[in-house]
Structure 1
């Protein structure tokens, strides 16, 4: 027993030392990076390189790709050619699935960064090795994606099933998913024409294709400074995302990390807003997703994106989360009553320049008055980049506990939905297909907004200061339409404001398919209709989203006027 205790104590001490070394190494390399950014001449470059080399000498076990790359560039700038090639050799030696170090040599900025190396006879040889590693990497990537996306959906043979009811049941009961050979996959995703980006999928360690899993999309921030990338690597699972990795593993949740850019993202403009639902559709064809447990989270611009999907396109998702959120729709009106039948879990800090604590307080009061499923978890003493801090870990068990307890309920009896763009007119079983904004708004159609009186901002001394202001939290650039719906005993009662036409989606989970459906709009009988298992509609609708649970049997178009 004493021997076991001593071994355990030694192991704990060793682990503690490793953590201390990693933190000390990071402090040195972070300092080196900041010195490099601030450098105005070779004196600054020399100071930065010295710091990197001090870190390499003191903590050789922690030497990483980024620091070697920066050291190679700095050495080249200082015309220490042999040293620069030495770092590049060490860099290529680190190349593996996680560390794609060939990028440092084949990238579009390489000739500029290594301009002092280009005439050396070692440079073309190094480039040739890097290009070979790049080719191998992309071949392996394509093979892995092909294996990931191989599926058995063809076994459904939908075109051969002539009976609509049989077709409907076959889709809902499908569970023939293939096992996966790996845990992590980088998936190339077509944005348009020849433009591609990627999303990175991390499966639970013991993924079982016979079991359905919750999915959590993480939307990154700083979309203005990002660019599309045709691949990602396992680095995405670490750093600021380390706690998503930890708690997704503990809770058997599939994590998905999409890559956005200034033009194609989840905030503004609308060009890239389609990407998350489209990626989800691909994912559902590849792995066993629980359709009622798909969630979105994000940080900063990504949190604003999460909030935007709640406001604009909630139907595929069960719940929404955001760290350091600016809760606003940047491409239209922010209709916060759209939170009904869904939820938002907000994580805010008191030193956030992106959205002030007073703004979060005001929104929290409004959400409580609306009896919305909205949470605001405030952490004091932290800036906008809260997920960087170890103290943020306390939030993640709460998020994953919420994910475990929460499910989408697409057949709820009541719906409220407001939109100013019919491209985002669908909410579960109701779909606004035409607006009529020349109408007078109904008395119950109200705009909800509030003012912000203080903003936080960094001054030239990099100090966070408060500034008095007066601005509206939300903008409403266009008139909107609203629809409220309720059904019971095969009768639908719909109220509208500034809506010209709408669709009702019918499911046997909602109505008795053997009896007629009655539809009243604004108190008037608009339709008496015998629902069908509409074969063509079932196939068309399923092909749009591969949703096995929110699977509709029929649709009914209603002209309001």
Structure 2
């Protein structure tokens, strides 16, 4: 028996060594291709690929065949190019492990990369096979998504409103899942869509509620929308510690894909995506609504911060690596942070946002008593998550995530906005602006100056530049509302607000007694609030939130 185990061990060691050597040769070929300045350089790169294929035929992968086929086509070695392409389109890639084999032939760059091959009759044959494999791929992807959203059909039966409330709270139609990873299609509009990846805990149990963490990628200006999200491009490399600690703590991970036009930072065209993805995900799996979080790096960290500033209701906390703490689509109303929390992991060699500005930002956070923490890592550039030394930051993040819960019914709310799309926060909703009225004297603008910024010179040396800029911009007039409740009494102050609604939960007030609402010191409402069955059902259908359930609302008009 020991002899057999030894042989098996040797076999796996040999296979592992072969794959490692193959990967080294492939990397050498790729580096040679990138450094090539003429045809001789490309030929040398192609020879390295061919050497790797010849020595390790069992290790040949899609990436190697793809690069080799492009090189051969560029060098007009057509027989070799089609030999590589034929093998490439026949590889069966698992729908979640990486870029599929057909993508090289029917993707957006195929006609430019294979321009020398298109006139060859063999190109039609290869492309037809790739189209067939693509259709098969998306059929499987659709089946996988259908399985993700498969639930037990369950209609609400109680006509009694109080029982309906309890039924919504205990709603659980969820079923076990066949897989750990799902690529889900997400429509942006009638003609545009993207995708997000859902990574479940290994032993996902539909009877248990799970924390959920979004990761927002950076470099939104240089990204394109995708039809699917492969596992291999999300769970490893820079995101390896998200994967490690999520699996240790039974946290669901979600990886959306944005683009220059549709993202979470520079354009409001795509800002709706993450809140809508939360609702969509909750249709298929059992999410703890009080433990939904957002993190990100660079532009993604700025996106996380922007959701905190503009649309935090569904979320419990926010995190960012190398954050630029500013809203780029309107005003940055920094006191909005007091409704939730933010942890920033910064570095002292970051060109994206300088350490001196982070110091001043942290000072401002302390002045307003915000739930904000910054952890500074010295000696690292903007791409901090690339380094193994970033791991302790992820431990801090997940330690916070595990302990933190959203309070769905906070006693106090302070909310400022300049776009009525973002006039909702917890139990304050449908807020409308009155920008013609003067501001209240307590409605102040918070800001600070930044006078130093880091940048790289032409020799890639980090230098300090003198600047003179505001930390935040305020392009439009804003409205602000400060609200609190206790013992069935709501006291609310407004500035530049025309109207709003107060959502009511039996967790907030005693429904047997009258509810009083004072606006700017004047009594505006003094009545009992009753359950509204239609309102409850409509609200739950929209939010899929079993924790923050509204039974009715009080509509308030200031004028």
**TM-score (normalizing by structure 1):** 0.91
* Equivalent residue, structure 2, for 1:92: 89
* Equivalent residue, structure 1, for 2:339: 341
Alpha-carbon deviation of 1:90?
4.3
Deviates more, 1:482-491 or 1:119-128: 119-128
> Using the alignment, how far apart are the partners of 1:10 and 1:374 within structure 2?
56
* Equivalent residue, structure 1, for 2:141: 141
The alpha-carbon distance between structure 1 residues 119 and 13, as it changes in their structure 2 partners (threshold 3 A), is same
Conservation of the 8 A alpha-carbon contact between 1:153 and 1:285: no
Conservation of the 8 A alpha-carbon contact between 2:216 and 2:294: yes
Q: Deviations over 1:348-406 (max 9, x none)?
A: 11221111111111111111222211111212222222222222222212111111000
Conservation of the 8 A alpha-carbon contact between 2:453 and 2:464: yes
> Using the alignment, how far apart are the partners of 2:91 and 2:440 within structure 1?
65
Unaligned runs of 5+ in 2: none
Q: Tell me, what secondary structure is at the counterpart of 2:242?
A: helix
> Using the alignment, how far apart are the partners of 2:272 and 2:543 within structure 1?
12
* Equivalent residue, structure 2, for 1:118: 118
How is 1:1-16 mapped onto 2 (pairs within 5 angstroms)?
none
Q: Deviations over 1:252-300 (max 9, x none)?
A: 1111111111111111211111111111111111110100000011111
How is 1:265-414 mapped onto 2 (pairs within 5 angstroms)?
265-414=263-412
Conservation of the 8 A alpha-carbon contact between 1:204 and 1:254: yes
Alpha-carbon deviation of 1:49?
3.7
Alpha-carbon deviation of 1:337?
0.7
Alpha-carbon deviation of 1:546?
0.7
Say whether residues 1:169 and 2:169 are aligned partners.
no
Q: Tell me, what secondary structure is at the counterpart of 1:270?
A: coil
Say whether residues 1:190 and 2:187 are aligned partners.
yes
Unaligned runs of 5+ in 1: none
Deviates more, 1:551-560 or 1:391-400: 391-400
Q: Tell me, what secondary structure is at the counterpart of 1:532?
A: coil
The alpha-carbon distance between structure 1 residues 173 and 451, as it changes in their structure 2 partners (threshold 3 A), is same
Q: Deviations over 1:425-448 (max 9, x none)?
A: 111111252112222222221111
Q: Tell me, what secondary structure is at the counterpart of 2:115?
A: coil
> Using the alignment, how far apart are the partners of 2:307 and 2:431 within structure 1?
19
* Equivalent residue, structure 1, for 2:513: 515
The alpha-carbon distance between structure 1 residues 75 and 523, as it changes in their structure 2 partners (threshold 3 A), is same
Conservation of the 8 A alpha-carbon contact between 1:432 and 1:499: no
Say whether residues 1:150 and 2:147 are aligned partners.
no
The alpha-carbon distance between structure 1 residues 35 and 479, as it changes in their structure 2 partners (threshold 3 A), is farther
Say whether residues 1:65 and 2:30 are aligned partners.
no
> Using the alignment, how far apart are the partners of 2:207 and 2:49 within structure 1?
49
The alpha-carbon distance between structure 1 residues 48 and 388, as it changes in their structure 2 partners (threshold 3 A), is farther
Q: Tell me, what secondary structure is at the counterpart of 1:69?
A: helix
Conservation of the 8 A alpha-carbon contact between 1:95 and 1:102: no
Q: Tell me, what secondary structure is at the counterpart of 1:199?
A: strand
Q: Which of residues 543, 546, 549 in structure 2 aligns to 1:545?
A: 543
Alpha-carbon deviation of 1:539?
1.4
Alpha-carbon deviation of 1:493?
0.7
Supply the RMSD in Å over aligned alpha carbons.
2.9
The alpha-carbon distance between structure 1 residues 10 and 296, as it changes in their structure 2 partners (threshold 3 A), is farther
Deviates more, 1:424-433 or 1:48-57: 48-57
Alpha-carbon deviation of 1:76?
1.5
The alpha-carbon distance between structure 1 residues 118 and 241, as it changes in their structure 2 partners (threshold 3 A), is same
Q: Deviations over 1:235-261 (max 9, x none)?
A: 222222222112111111111111111
How is 1:463-482 mapped onto 2 (pairs within 5 angstroms)?
463-482=461-480
The alpha-carbon distance between structure 1 residues 399 and 27, as it changes in their structure 2 partners (threshold 3 A), is farther
The alpha-carbon distance between structure 1 residues 57 and 553, as it changes in their structure 2 partners (threshold 3 A), is same
> Using the alignment, how far apart are the partners of 1:357 and 1:19 within structure 2?
44
The alpha-carbon distance between structure 1 residues 456 and 498, as it changes in their structure 2 partners (threshold 3 A), is same
**TM-score (normalizing by structure 2):** 0.92
Conservation of the 8 A alpha-carbon contact between 2:154 and 2:173: no
Alpha-carbon deviation of 1:128?
2.8
The alpha-carbon distance between structure 1 residues 32 and 559, as it changes in their structure 2 partners (threshold 3 A), is farther
Deviates more, 1:122-131 or 1:52-61: 52-61
Alpha-carbon deviation of 1:95?
3.0
Alpha-carbon deviation of 1:336?
1.2
Q: Tell me, what secondary structure is at the counterpart of 1:340?
A: helix
Deviates more, 1:429-438 or 1:303-312: 429-438
Conservation of the 8 A alpha-carbon contact between 1:432 and 1:483: no
Alpha-carbon deviation of 1:34?
5.7
Residues matched between the structures, number: 555
The alpha-carbon distance between structure 1 residues 489 and 221, as it changes in their structure 2 partners (threshold 3 A), is same
Deviates more, 1:386-395 or 1:332-341: 386-395
Conservation of the 8 A alpha-carbon contact between 2:198 and 2:254: yes
The alpha-carbon distance between structure 1 residues 64 and 237, as it changes in their structure 2 partners (threshold 3 A), is farther
> Using the alignment, how far apart are the partners of 1:344 and 1:23 within structure 2?
41
Q: Tell me, what secondary structure is at the counterpart of 1:185?
A: strand
Alpha-carbon deviation of 1:46?
3.4
The alpha-carbon distance between structure 1 residues 369 and 58, as it changes in their structure 2 partners (threshold 3 A), is farther
Deviates more, 1:98-107 or 1:408-417: 98-107
How is 1:67-82 mapped onto 2 (pairs within 5 angstroms)?
67-82=64-79
Q: Tell me, what secondary structure is at the counterpart of 1:365?
A: helix
> Using the alignment, how far apart are the partners of 1:299 and 1:471 within structure 2?
23
Conservation of the 8 A alpha-carbon contact between 1:367 and 1:374: yes
Deviates more, 1:195-204 or 1:145-154: 145-154
